[in-house]
Structure 1
Amino acid sequence: MDYSKQLGEGSISALLLKFSIPAIVGMVVSALYNIVDRIFVGRGVGSLAIAGTTMGFPIMLIIIAFSMLVGMGATSLISIRLGEKKKAEAELIAANALLLLIALSLALSITGLLFLTSLLRLFGASDDVLPYAGDYMRIILPGTVLLGISFGMNNFIRAEGNPRTAMYTMLVGAVANIILDYYFIFILGLGVKGAALATVIAQGISAVWVLHYFFRGRSFLKICWRKLKPEPLIIRQILTIGFPPFAMQLVDSVKQVILLKSLGIYGGDLAISAMGIIFSISTILVMPVIGISQGAQPIIGYNYGAGQYKRVKETLQSAIAAATSILSVGFVFTRLFPETIVGLFAKNDMRLISLGSHGLLTVFLLLPIVGFQVVGSNYFQSVGKPKQATILTLSRHVLLFIPALLILPRFWGLEGIWRAAPAADLGSSILTGIWLFCELKRLDLNEIRPGNRHERLKDFLF
C-alpha cells in the first residue's frame, strides 16, 4: 500500500488528526521516561535525587539533539522525496540516517563516560548531589545508541505515512519503563540506578521494535543491508536540514547549564530540584505541541514537494490552532492546581512544593503563545529551509532567554530566573509571527506562478 499517497489527496483536518494524535501520544509517552523517573525518584529516594537526575539533563539534551539532527533532518528529506515519487532515494536516506545515528550515539556515549564527573561539576553539581547524578548517568550513557535508534528512526515511520506504528513504538517503551521503575526502585531498592536501568531497558525494547519494522516488518520504506553504506551527499543533506532542531536542543543544553549554575547560586539544591519538577511538567505540556508539529511535518513536506501550496497553508493554520488550544488548557490547569501538580513529585516536602509552585506559575506565565512559536518555526524545517528555522528556533533559547537569564537575576535574584522564560516566550513569538507572515505572502505568489518555489527548493538542497 502507498501510505504516502494519502498526504496529497486526503482532507487536511482528517490527515492532521490522523498523524498528530499518534505523534502526540508518542511524544507524551516519550516524555514519561523523564517524568516517571523523577516521580519515582522523588518519592522513593528524596529531593536530592531529583536534583541529581536534573543535573544529567544537559547531557540528555545533547544526546537528543544528535538524534534530532539525524532523525528530523532525514524525515524532512524523506517526506519531500515521497512527494516527488522518489521512493528509492527515500530508502537510501533512511539507511544513511541509521548509520549516522549509530556512529554519533557511540561517540557520545564514550565521550560522556570519559568526562562525566568533570561535566557534572561544570553543570554545578554540589557534593551532596554529585553521587546521585553520577550513578544515574553512568547507566544512561551506555544506552545512548538505543535512544538514538528508537527516537531518531521513529520519525521515519511517520514520514512514510504510518503514524500509528510510530505511536506504538514509544508506547511499548514507556509502559516498560513505568513497570521497571517501580520494580527496581520500590521492590529492589536500587534508587537512581534503578531508574536509569529501567530507562535503558525500555529504550532497548523500542529500538528493537523500530529495527524490526524497517528490516522485517510491513514498512513502506525498506532498509536492507546492501543499502547501509555511507553516501556523502545524502549525509550532508540530512545534517543540513536537521540542523535547526539540533541547534535548538544543543543550545538548550547550554541554556540548562547556565540555568543550573544560576539556580545553585541564587537558590541552592532545593531550587535545582524545583526546576527539575518544572522541567518535567513543561515537557508533558509542550510535547503534545511537538507531536502536532511532527504530525504536520510529513503533510507539509509532501505537499510542498508536490507544489500544492494551499494544502501547505491549511495544514500550518490548523496545526497552530491545535497547538495553541492544547497549551491554553495546560495553562489553566497549572494556574488552578500548582501545589497539587508539584506535589506529585515531592513526598511531603512542603518547602519544595511551595518553591516549585511559585516557580511554575511564573515560568508558565505566557504558556499559550508557545504553541504558535514552535509550530511556526517547525514550518520552515518542514519545507527544507534550515536557515530560517535555525534563527527562529534559537531565538527563544539563545537570543532572548540566555541574556535574560544572565541579566534578570542580578536585579531580582531567584525570581529573575523564573521571569526569564516568559520574557523569551514573548519576544520569540513576535519574531516568528513577523517572519511567518512574510513567508506566507511569498507562498501566495508561488500559487500564482507555480514551479518557481519548487525549483528554488531543489537548488537549495543540491
Structure 2
Amino acid sequence: MSAVDLGTAPLSRLFLRYVTPTVAAMLVTGIYVTIDGIFVGHILGQDGLAGMMLAYPICAVLYAVGALIGMGSSSLVSFYLGKGEQATARHIVGNALVMVLMASAMLTFIGIRYGEAMLSWMGAEGEIFNAGMAYLRWYALLGVFAVLSMAFTALLRNDGRPGLTTWILVGGGVLNVLLDYLLMAVIPWGLAGAAIATMLSQAVTGGLCLWHFFIPRSQLRIRWDTLTPNWRLMGETLRLGISSFLMYLYLSVVLAMHNKALLAVGTSLHVAAYGVISYSEAFFYLIFEGIAMGIQPIASFNAGAGNWQRVLRVRNLALGVTLLVALCGMIPLYLWPEGVVYLFAGDNAALLPVASLGIWLYFWGLPMEGLLLVGATYFQAINRARIASLLTGGKLVLIGGFLWGFSSLWGVSGVWLALPTCSTVLVLVMWRAMRKEAGLHVPAH
C-alpha cells in the first residue's frame, strides 16, 4: 500500500492491513515468550524463575533503547513521508542504524563492567545470583541484536511492509523456541541457554529487517550518505522516541521495583510468583503493543498531512479494540488462575496459592495497561511528544510511591494492587488530554 493510500484509503481497511499483521506477529512473539517461561519454570523451577526475574529488568534496558530509536525514527519517517520529503525520511533510517551501533556498544560495556553490582543490588543471592548472572552476561555480550531487532522491525513496518515484518517475527519466534529446547532441555545450559536462544533469534530477526533497507526496491534504502550523522534529525528521533523509551524503561523499573518490594515484604517465592504474573501479562501486553505499532504509520502520516478527522477515528478504533482484547483476556485469568500457574510452574504446591492470589489482585488493571500503552503511542505518533512522555514518565514516578505506600499498608497484597491502581489514575489523565486534543481539531461549522 502506497503512502498516498494512508491518507485516502478507508480506515477500516487500513486498520486491518497494518494492525492485523502486527498483532499477529506480536501474538507469535507472545507465544514464544510464554514458551520461554514454560521452559524456565518446568526445567529450572522456581529458582530459575526468580533468577530470571531479578536479571531481566537490567536486560530490558536494551529493548528500551531499541524502542527509543525504532519508534522515534518510525514516527519521524512517517511524518516526513506525509509531507512528501522522501530524502529526509531515508536519512532518518540511515541515522537510526548509526544510533543502534553506538548505543549497543555503550550498553555492552556497562553490562559487562557493572552487571554483578546491579544484580546484587536487585537482591539476588547464592544460586539465584549465579543463574541470573549467566542470563545477564549473555544479554550484555549479544545486546546489539536486541537493539537492532527492536529498532528495525518498526522501521520495516513503516516502509510499507507490515506483512513481511510479521513473517520475519514469526521466523524469529519459531527459532527461539527451537533454541530454547536445544540449549535448555538437550544441552543443560540453564538460564545462559535461555539468553543465548533469545539473542540468536533476535540476530536473525534484526538482520533480516536490516537487509531489506539495503535492497534497491526499498523506498527508504540505506546508502553511505544516509549514514552521515544529522544531529538535528537524531535529536528529533530521540525526542519522539523518548515516550517509547520511557514505556520500556518503565517495564524494567516496574519489574525491579516489584522484585525489591516483594523481597522486602515477602520471599523469593513471591518473586517467582511475580514471574508467572509477568509472563502472563507479557502475552497481552504484546498484543496491545501490536495495536499501537500498527496504527502508528496511519496516525503519523495523516497528522503530517493535516487529516485530523482520520487521525481521531483511527485512535478511537484502536482504543476500542484494545479494551475488547483486555476484557476477553481477563476471562481465563480469573476463571482458571490455577491453570495459568500450572502452565508456567508445573505442580508446585508452594507456588500455586501465592501466584493464584497475585493473579486475582493484579489483573483487574489489564484494560488500563492496554489503554495507556495505545494512548501514549498515539500521542507519540502525532508528534505530541510532551504528552506521551508525561504519561509514560508519570508511571515511572508514581509507581514507586504506590508500591511503597500499598506494601506498607497491606504487605504482599499491596504490591499486587499498586500497578493497576497507578495505571487507572494515569488513564484518567490520558482521557482528559485526549478530549482536549480532539477539541483542537473539531472542524468549524
Verify same fold: TM over 0.5. yes
Alignment of 1:193-342 (within 5 A): 193-216=192-215, 218-342=217-341
Secondary structure, counterpart of 1:344 in structure 2: helix
Q: How many residues align?
A: 445
Q: Which amino acid aligns with 2:425?
A: G
Q: Which amino acid aligns with 1:65?
A: A
2:101 paired residue number:
102
Q: 2: distance between equivalents of 1:254 and 1:375?
A: 20
Q: Is the 8 A contact 1:400 1:423 kept in 2?
A: no
Cα deviation, residue 173, structure 1: 0.9
Q: TM-score, normalised by structure 2?
A: 0.97
Which region of structure 1 is more displaced relative to structure 2, 16-25 or 66-75? 16-25
Spell out, residue by residue over 1:282-320, the C-alpha distance to the aligned partner (whole angstroms, 9 max, x if none).
Answer: 110121111111111110110111111111111001001
Spell out, residue by residue over 1:342-374, the C-alpha distance to the aligned partner (whole angstroms, 9 max, x if none).
Answer: 211112212112211110111111322333222
Q: 2: distance between equivalents of 1:377 and 1:210?
A: 25
Please tell me whether residue 165 in structure 1 is matched to residue 155 in structure 2.
no
Q: Which amino acid aligns with 2:180?
A: D
5+ residue gaps, structure 2, are: none
Q: 2: distance between equivalents of 1:239 and 1:212?
A: 23
1:412 paired residue number:
410
Secondary structure, counterpart of 2:229 in structure 1: coil
Q: 2:422 aligns with which of 424, 448, 452?
A: 424
Secondary structure, counterpart of 2:12 in structure 1: helix
* CA root-mean-square deviation: 1.6
Cα deviation, residue 161, structure 1: 2.1
Q: Is the 8 A contact 2:93 2:226 kept in 1?
A: no
Q: 2: distance between equivalents of 1:182 and 1:353?
A: 25
Alignment of 1:378-457 (within 5 A): 378-395=377-394, 397-444=395-442, 447-448=443-444
Q: Which amino acid aligns with 1:428?
A: L
Q: Which amino acid aligns with 1:335?
A: Y
Cα deviation, residue 26, structure 1: 2.3
Q: Which amino acid aligns with 1:14?
A: R
Cα deviation, residue 21, structure 1: 1.3
Cα deviation, residue 269, structure 1: 0.9
Q: 1: distance between equivalents of 2:311 and 2:42?
A: 46
Q: Which amino acid aligns with 2:296?
A: Q
Q: 1: distance between equivalents of 2:107 and 2:31?
A: 23
Q: Is the 8 A contact 2:30 2:284 kept in 1?
A: no
2:121 paired residue number:
122
Please tell me whether residue 185 in structure 1 is matched to residue 184 in structure 2.
yes
Spell out, residue by residue over 1:379-434, the C-alpha distance to the aligned partner (whole angstroms, 9 max, x if none).
Answer: 21011111111111223x23432211011111111111011022112111111111
Q: 2: distance between equivalents of 1:432 and 1:81?
A: 26
Spell out, residue by residue over 1:203-242, the C-alpha distance to the aligned partner (whole angstroms, 9 max, x if none).
Answer: 1111221121111274331112332111111111111111
Secondary structure, counterpart of 1:343 in structure 2: helix
Q: Is the 8 A contact 1:7 1:302 kept in 2?
A: yes
Q: 2: distance between equivalents of 1:306 and 1:389?
A: 20
Q: 2: distance between equivalents of 1:133 and 1:33?
A: 20
Secondary structure, counterpart of 2:182 in structure 1: helix
1:151 paired residue number:
150
Q: 1: distance between equivalents of 2:308 and 2:208?
A: 35
Secondary structure, counterpart of 2:188 in structure 1: coil
Cα deviation, residue 33, structure 1: 5.1
Q: Which amino acid aligns with 1:223?
A: I
Cα deviation, residue 162, structure 1: 1.6
Which region of structure 1 is more displaced relative to structure 2, 41-50 or 217-226? 217-226
2:12 paired residue number:
13
Secondary structure, counterpart of 1:128 in structure 2: helix
Q: Is the 8 A contact 2:56 2:136 kept in 1?
A: no
2:348 paired residue number:
349
Q: Which amino acid aligns with 1:425?
A: S
Cα deviation, residue 61, structure 1: 2.2
Q: 2: distance between equivalents of 1:269 and 1:372?
A: 31
Q: Which amino acid aligns with 2:396?
A: V
Q: 2: distance between equivalents of 1:17 and 1:412?
A: 44
2:34 paired residue number:
35
Q: Is the 8 A contact 2:131 2:191 kept in 1?
A: yes
Q: 1: distance between equivalents of 2:26 and 2:275?
A: 19
Q: 2: distance between equivalents of 1:68 and 1:316?
A: 21
Q: Is the 8 A contact 2:74 2:158 kept in 1?
A: yes
Q: Is the 8 A contact 2:368 2:420 kept in 1?
A: no
2:81 paired residue number:
82
Cα separation, partners in 2 of 1:256 and 1:217, compared to 1, 3 Å: farther
Q: Which amino acid aligns with 2:154?
A: N
Please tell me whether residue 366 in structure 1 is matched to residue 365 in structure 2.
yes
Q: Is the 8 A contact 1:293 1:378 kept in 2?
A: yes
1:4 paired residue number:
3
Cα deviation, residue 376, structure 1: 1.9
Q: 2: distance between equivalents of 1:329 and 1:311?
A: 27
Q: Is the 8 A contact 1:35 1:280 kept in 2?
A: yes
Which region of structure 1 is more displaced relative to structure 2, 25-34 or 60-69? 25-34
Q: Which amino acid aligns with 1:363?
A: Y
Q: 1: distance between equivalents of 2:31 and 2:227?
A: 32
